Amino acid sequence: MADQAPDSIQRNLTLPKHIGFIMDGNGRWASGHGLQREDGHKYGVDSIENLIQHMSDVGIQYVTLYAFSTENWNRPKSEVTSIFSLLRSTLSNKLERLIEANIQVRHIGNLKGINNTTRIAIERAIDATISNTGMTVIVAINYGGRKEIVDAVKTIIAADIKPEEITETTIEEHLYTSSIPHPDLIIRTGGEFRTSNFLLWQSAYSEYYITNTLWPDFTVEHLKQAILSYQTRQRRFGRVKSDED
């Protein structure tokens, strides 16, 4: 069945336009292999490239990677330092391949709270791929869904928009993701059933796929199963099933 998945995904069934990833389980994976948590993050990064390539090949248009949340600052300083070092090196080392693959890089989150060298690496990747027209990869770094909504409200207030003029569209226009479609599918590895402050506004009608597989072990085959699961679901957006109309 897995061998048939690429053709089924690509040709026969509706694809999610936007997939979000909560990449959980790096630390547990490292502990299970007798390694440091930092090593788990390194192996986790190794999982990303093949997944990105496959999603680009089958026609996924947007991918959001939850790389570092506003809550992750509470982790040990050595781990945070290691994560940002890994983010910098990955963005730098993979930049030419992203350009060749026609992939555009975008960022959501608060750049002001990030150290200067990491911020420069993020901005360089964004600038170098801004004209690319293929898949868009959004990297959520120093991102929190609640903070995003608070920032949107502050921007609306600063724009002196009258309360009676504020609609859902107004709020969406002031989110970090204002020009990005909502995620159709959110994949969470590591088996936990929670949103972890990820795209809270945007995921109101997203389909979730939870797998016990830890992120460093998540492969293209797991991705195919997640997409096929999505394709069997009927998205109703509050409506009843079509056969109940």
SS (H, E, C) the chain: CHHHHHHHHHHHCCCCCEEEEECCCHHHHHHHCCCCHHHHHHHHHHHHHHHHHHHHHHCCCEEEEEEEEHHHHHCCHHHHHHHHHHHHHHHHHCHHHHHHCCCEEEEECCHHHCCHHHHHHHHHHHHHHCCCCCCEEEEEEEECHHHHHHHHHHHHHHCCCCHHHCCHHHHHHCCCCCCCCCCCEEEECCCCCCCCCCCCCCCCCCEEEECCCCHHHCCHHHHHHHHHHHHCCCCCCCCCCHHHC
Q: Are 212 and 47 in contact (CB under 8 A)?
A: no
Q: Are 133 and 104 in contact (CB under 8 A)?
A: yes
Annotation marks residue 24 as catalytic = yes
Query: Residues 24, 39, 142, 184: which is the catalytic one?
Result: 24
Query: Residues 50, 57, 72, 160: which is the catalytic one?
Result: 72
Annotation marks residue 115 as catalytic = no
Catalytic residues: 24, 72
